[in-house]
């Protein structure tokens, strides 16, 4: 089209030149010829008016601009739709794409649609057509050329086919040109930045969560370690059973060495505590002074084998009726029958053991029946007795029970043949004899309390003055 316009312009110029050569120099000037007569030249107008207000050069320029603008249009803007195929209905994938659900169809020439052409259809949108009402470019960017037919327009010979130039703008209201592109680019870059920041924040959050999980695990392990350390510390603070027994033994020894209660002396507890300490010290090569036992009635000292609970002491010295000393509360008439029966049976049992014979089971059952009568009678009359009287009577009946327990042992005869008896001229010999025979001190019988006191003083004095043998020599 551009070439045809040029040919038309050249032909017109040639025709005008030939016509001018036939015109005389004094010919009337054509009012449609601009420029007038130039001296020395033929009166030919090189830029005649082809229409009122439109010269030939401007017309050629306008056509060239329109042609160049049409070269930059998409095919469907001229009426050719790339998405239409004769007899074939395809999705909007373009002419060279293969649709998975339809066999491949070679590309064909698009069908002409006159309603898509901006030439045939004046209402078709042409983004590259210049706006005749756009006289200036508010954005300062080069716009499509302004035709001379636009009243008051300025000539702009710059034409850009870029889809994002000011050809999209609408009149004097500006439009979405360079400023819009800048905003879109900024928005795009901002979105990329936001995505990058979000990804970085995600990684930071994930790593922080991992660190927090590790911290929780570390704290849990630290708590468990401290719990174990605290439990171990508490176990170290709590004494073991052996330590408790050792402390109790040391406490009993300290009390036995100083001034223990008389009840512990008469029960044999303090004597046994000192006996164990003296045996241990002598085993380590220590000895004390020579403390004789001549002034102590050793027949009043009762002993028993280690591990035995019996105590034959209350009946060991019975030889005739009346030798058994009854406490005053049990001498009342309410206890007479059971008291006399038990007294006679105990004397008979002692004589049997002294004869190196064991007590029969029937005799032991009778003894236990008499003892039970006395205990029941004492408990029934407890309101008639003072506390001290009740304690005295109860202690005596407990000693009888211990004697019956000793009589049941197969070795009960040894209490009367001298095998289970304390022997020694001094404290050192007594300690050795008790260790060799495996004996311990038993509770004192009524009347034997003074002997127990004297023996305790002797043993405590011997313990307080013990020294190693080498030092004594």
Q: What's the DSSP call for residue 88?
A: B
Q: Give mean pLDDT, residues 438-461.
A: 92
pLDDT of residue 456: 94
pLDDT of residue 45: 67
Are 311 and 469 in contact, with CB atoms under 8 Å apart?
Answer: no
Query: How many Å apart are CA 168 and CA 69, to the nearest integer?
Result: 14
pLDDT of residue 356: 86
Minimum mean pLDDT range among 25-39, 270-284, 320-334: 25-39
Minimum mean pLDDT range among 142-156, 268-282, 324-338: 142-156
pLDDT of residue 109: 53
All residues at 6 or more sequence positions from 367 whose CB lies less than 8 Å from its CB, including other chains: 342, 345, 346, 349, 404, 407
Are 374 and 335 in contact, with CB atoms under 8 Å apart?
Answer: yes
Q: Is the pLDDT of residue 23 over 50?
A: no
Q: Is the pLDDT of residue 163 over 90?
A: no
pLDDT in tens, 93-125: 444 444 444 555 555 555 555 555 555 555 554
Q: Give mean pLDDT, residues 335-361.
A: 91
Give the predicted TM-score (pTM) of the model: 0.51
Q: Is the pLDDT of residue 451 over 90?
A: yes
pLDDT of residue 108: 53
Please, which pLDDT band fits residue 61 given cuts at 50, 70 and 90? confident
Pairing state between β 303-305 and 54-55? unpaired
Q: Give mean pLDDT, residues 169-175.
A: 42
Please, which pLDDT band fits residue 156 given cuts at 50, 70 and 90? very low
Please, which pLDDT band fits residue 15 given cuts at 50, 70 and 90? very low
Burial of 126 per CB tally in 10 Å (0-12, 13-18, 19+): middle
Per-residue 3-state assignment (H helix, E strand, C coil) for 148-193: CCCCCCCCCCCCCCCCCCHHHCCHHHCCCCHHHHHHHHHHHHHHHH
Q: Give mean pLDDT, residues 206-214.
A: 92
Q: Give mean pLDDT, residues 76-102.
A: 50
Are 116 and 78 in contact, with CB atoms under 8 Å apart?
Answer: yes
All residues at 6 or more sequence positions from 243 whose CB lies less than 8 Å from its CB, including other chains: none
Looking at per-residue confidence, does 166 or 243 come out higher? 243
Q: Is the pLDDT of residue 145 over 60?
A: no
Q: What is the percentage of the chain residues whose pLDDT exceeds 70?
A: 64
> Is the sign of the CA dihedral 204, 207, 209, 215 positive or negative?
negative
pLDDT of residue 401: 93
Pick from 338, 317, 296: nearest CA to 403: 317
Please, which pLDDT band fits residue 60 given cuts at 50, 70 and 90? confident
Please, which pLDDT band fits residue 447 given cuts at 50, 70 and 90? confident
């Amino acid at each position: 089209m551009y070439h045809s316009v040029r040919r038309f312009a050249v032909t017109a110029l040639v025709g005008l030149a030939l016509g001018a050569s036939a015109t005389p120099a004094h010919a009337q000037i054509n009012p449609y010829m601009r420029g007038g007569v130039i001296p020395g030249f033929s009166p030919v107008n090189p830029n005649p008016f082809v229409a009122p207000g439109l010269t030939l050069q401007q017309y050629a320029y306008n056509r060239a601009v329109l042609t160049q603008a049409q070269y930059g249009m998409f095919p469907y803007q001229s009426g050719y739709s790339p998405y239409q195929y004769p007899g074939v209905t395809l999705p909007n994938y373009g002419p060279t794409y293969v649709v998975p659900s339809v066999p491949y169809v070679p590309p064909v020439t698009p069908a002409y649609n006159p309603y898509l052409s901006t030439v045939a259809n004046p209402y078709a949108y042409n983004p590259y057509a210049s706006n005749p009402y756009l006289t200036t470019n508010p954005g300062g960017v080069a716009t499509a050329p302004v035709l001379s037919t636009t009243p008051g327009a300025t000539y702009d010979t710059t034409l850009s086919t870029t889809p994002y130039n000011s050809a999209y703008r609408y009149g004097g209201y500006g439009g979405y040109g360079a400023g819009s592109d800048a905003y879109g680019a900024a928005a795009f870059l901002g979105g990329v930045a936001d995505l990058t920041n979000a990804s970085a924040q995600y990684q930071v959050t994930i790593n922080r969560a991992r660190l927090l999980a590790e911290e929780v695990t570390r704290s849990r392990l630290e708590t468990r370690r401290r719990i174990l350390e605290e439990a171990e510390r508490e176990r170290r603070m709590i004494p073991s059973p052996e330590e408790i027994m050792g402390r109790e033994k040391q406490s009993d020894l300290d009390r036995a060495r100083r001034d223990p209660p008389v009840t512990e002396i008469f029960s044999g507890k303090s004597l046994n505590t000192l006996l164990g300490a003296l045996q241990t010290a002598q085993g380590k090569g220590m000895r004390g002074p020579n403390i004789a036992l001549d002034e102590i009635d050793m027949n009043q000292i009762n002993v028993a084998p280690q591990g035995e609970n019996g105590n034959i002491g209350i009946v060991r010295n019975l030889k005739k009726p009346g030798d058994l000393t009854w406490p005053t509360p049990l001498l009342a008439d309410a206890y007479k029958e059971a008291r006399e029966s038990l007294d006679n049976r105990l004397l008979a049992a002692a004589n049997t053991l002294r004869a190196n014979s064991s007590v029969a089971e029937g005799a032991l059952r009778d003894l236990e029946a008499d003892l039970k009568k006395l205990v029941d009678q004492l408990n029934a009359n407890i309101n008639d007795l003072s506390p001290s009287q009740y304690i005295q009577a109860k202690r005596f009946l407990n000693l009888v029970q211990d004697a019956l327990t000793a009589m049941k042992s197969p070795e009960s005869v040894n209490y009367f043949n001298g095998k289970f008896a304390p022997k020694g001229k001094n404290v050192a010999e007594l300690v050795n004899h008790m260790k060799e025979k495996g004996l311990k001190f038993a509770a004192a019988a009524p009347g034997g309390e003074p002997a127990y006191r004297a023996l305790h003083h002797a043993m405590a004095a011997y313990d307080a003055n013990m020294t190693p043998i080498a030092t004594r020599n």
